[in-house]
Chain A
Amino acid sequence: MENGLFPARIVDPVTDSNCYLLVREGRLAVIDPNNFELLEEALQKRNMTPDVVLLTHEHCDHIGGLNALRERYRTVVIGSSACARGMQSAKENMSRLMETFLYYKSGEKTFVHYRPFTCDPPDLQFGDSMAVPFADGLLEFVSLPGHTHGSSVIRFGDLLFVGDYLLPGDRVLTRLPGGSEEEYERYAKPWLRTIPDGMWILPGHGEPYRMDEEVRIRHDL
């Protein structure tokens, strides 16, 4: 997978979130459209349009470019039904208080203007899980509430898009809007424990890496 087939990563400079471009057999899946301008630049460079847009969860740093993307392209957006509810609320998608969050995250040094927004729900929604054919493989969605009610992981072969679970160097946050420690322990953690060694983890922030025992220890899995 360490070749041209590995998903390209777009990092939003404001929130540090990742968007991934998964390209297979001339088809393109966008995972977490964080920043439309950067995404558009990447699409034009490849001369491609997005066939599907996949959402790992409803927080604004992962859907910030979705409205503009939908205006520009006809595409199919896929996310969980819980994600659908969250993204339609500026409180639940966190955009309402993002200015404050970013200010605190900067160590109370930098103030960035961040406009609250909501998004229309995904075109295709799932409950606990779903599988969708994509190019030469299968996109497998598993709903894992904990970080937010609408959090999911998306598997494609040996790639696992994990949203804000398993972030490098960071324990999962369950106190942000929509988060629940109880749900994380009950639903997400047991599933995350089953990820086999060697699987590529593509997190919502930070660089991709392979699953191993050290990661399990770090995340108390």
Chain B
Amino acid sequence: MTNLEKYNKIFRGMFRKTDEELPALKYRGIALWDSIGHMDLMGELEETFDIRIETQDVLDFTSYEKGKEVLRRYGVEI
């Protein structure tokens, strides 16, 4: 499975969206992606990509697209 497939799988599972809907997803843009959903998301990403996301980056992770940039800082190319 590619990194993009893993990334999308996490978003689909957590926020119950299709691949086509993912690019538009933003933090607090849907009910499930609230602060608690965000922490859950960070936990899943850390586990999947075996990284530790710093708090500043957790806060910087404001959308599906922005998240790709954040993960790149940890050597994860999406």
The answer to whether A and B interact is: yes
Is B38 an interface residue, CB under 8 A from the partner? yes
Q: Which residues of B contact A97 (CB under 8 A)?
A: 39, 42-43, 58
Give chain A nearest CB distance to B43 CB in angstroms.
6
Query: Assuming the A-B contacts A99-B55, A100-B59, A101-B35, are A177 and B43 also in contact, with contact meaning beta carbons closer than 8 angstroms in the complex?
Result: yes
- Roughly how many angstroms separate A175 CA and B35 CA in the complex, as a whole number? 10
Most buried by A among B39, B40, B42: B39
- Majority DSSP secondary structure for residues of B touching A: helix
Q: Which residues of A contact B59 (CB under 8 A)?
A: 100, 103
Is B20 an interface residue, CB under 8 A from the partner? no
Name the one of A96, A103, A175 contacting B36, with C-beta atoms under 8 angstroms: A175
Chain B residues numbered 24-61 whose CB sits less than 8 Å from any CB in chain A: 35-40, 42-43, 46-47, 55, 58-59
**CB-based nearest B residue for A97:** B39
A100 touches B43 (CB 8 A): no
Proximity bits, B46-78, A CB within 8 Å = 1, else 0: 110000000100110000000000000000000
Q: Which residues of A contact B38 (CB under 8 A)?
A: 100, 104
Give chain A nearest CB distance to B38 CB in angstroms.
7
Proximity bits, A89-110, B CB within 8 Å = 1, else 0: 0010000110111011100000
Is A22 an interface residue, CB under 8 A from the partner? no
- Majority DSSP secondary structure for residues of A touching B: helix
Q: Which residues of B contact A105 (CB under 8 A)?
A: 35
Per the CB 8 Å criterion, the residue count for chain A at the interface is 14
- Roughly how many angstroms separate A91 CA and B39 CA in the complex, as a whole number? 10
Q: Which residues of A contact B37 (CB under 8 A)?
A: 175
Q: Which residues of B contact A173 (CB under 8 A)?
A: 36
**CB-based nearest B residue for A176:** B36
17 more contacts with CB within 8 A, not counting A100-B35, A100-B39, are A91-B43, A91-B46, A96-B43, A96-B46, A97-B42, A99-B55, A100-B38, A100-B58, A100-B59, A101-B35, A103-B55, A173-B36, A175-B36, A175-B37, A176-B39, A177-B40, A177-B43
